[in-house]
Amino acid sequence: MSNRLLRVNAYTTLDLVDGRVRAHEFETEAPGVVNVTAPREDPEHVNLQVELDGTAVDDLPAHAEEFDLSPAQARELAEALNDTADRVEKAQREDED
């Protein structure tokens, strides 16, 4: 991803995920980055960052979305992700049978 705002390195949580940007006027797919961090010193929040490859999306300027989550919110999100992943895996297993 060129012209990215988020730093992508060996510590990035998920790089090159399949992403999609949707607006009233358009919808397009692009590779993206999802990262979870916290400040190194005196962390007070968990930071969730999402960025799609700006070169693949002509309708938007380069940008990244960032969410500051409390530890409780981060755990709630993690639980929802785990529950949904379990449901998807179960459906995939049933499709294989």
Answer yes or no: is 90 within a domain. no
Asked, for residue 18, whether it belongs to a domain, the answer is yes
User: What pTM was computed for the model?
Assistant: 0.84
Question: Three-state secondary structure along the chain?
Answer: CCCCCCCCCCCCCEEEEEEEEECCCCEEEEEEEEEEECCCCCCCCEEEEEEECHHHCCCCCCCEEEEEECHHHHHHHHHHHHHHHHHHHHHHHHHHC
Percent of residues, the chain, with pLDDT higher than 90: 62
Tell me the residue range of the domain where 41 lies: 14-69
* The total number of structural domains that make up the chain: 1
User: pLDDT of 35-80, one tens digit each?
Assistant: 999 999 999 999 999 999 887 788 788 889 999 999 999 999 999 9
> Is residue 53 a part of any domain in this protein?
yes
Give the pLDDT of residue 55.
79
In a domain, 65, yes or no: yes
pLDDT score of 1: 54
